[in-house]
């Protein structure tokens, strides 16, 4: 698999997170027609986010010049960072 640079990783992480928030908003919509389809997509995006967060954390541990994850992925309503699991 090809490697991606840190800037691309940052953009992907933000994009996937924003897509998750969009899908969550759709699930809360009263006009939702196929919630199972959205739920399935949400599950896929959640998994992708976890993988990207792991890669991001790995790059940070190598000294990459990237902002802390808490600064780039925030809950749009509360402005609090999403939970970020540290590797053991």
Task: Read off the pLDDT band of 88 (50, 70, 90).
Answer: very low
For residue range 6-55, what is the model confidence (pLDDT) as tens digits? Answer: 999 999 999 999 999 998 888 887 777 778 888 899 999 999 999 999 99
Quickly state the pLDDT bin for 79 (edges 50, 70, 90).
Answer: very low
Which pLDDT does position 76 carry in this prediction? 45
Spatial neighbors of 69 by CB under 8 A, at least 6 apart, are 13, 53, 56, 57, 60, 81, 84
State pTM to two decimals: 0.75
The whole-number pLDDT of residue 25 equals 87
What was the pLDDT predicted at 19?
93
> What is the C-alpha to C-alpha distance for residues 84 and 53, in angstroms, rounded to an integer?
8
What DSSP designation does 33 have? S
């Amino acid at each position: 698999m090809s490697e991606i640079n840190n800037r691309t990783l940052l953009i992907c992480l933000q994009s996937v997170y924003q897509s998750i928030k969009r899908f969550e908003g759709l699930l809360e919509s009263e006009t939702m027609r196929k919630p199972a389809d959205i739920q399935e997509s949400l599950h896929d995006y959640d998994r992708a986010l976890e993988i990207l967060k792991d890669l991001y954390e790995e790059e940070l541990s190598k000294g990459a010049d990237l902002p802390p994850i808490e600064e780039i992925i925030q809950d749009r309503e509360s402005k609090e960072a999403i939970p970020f699991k540290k590797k053991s």
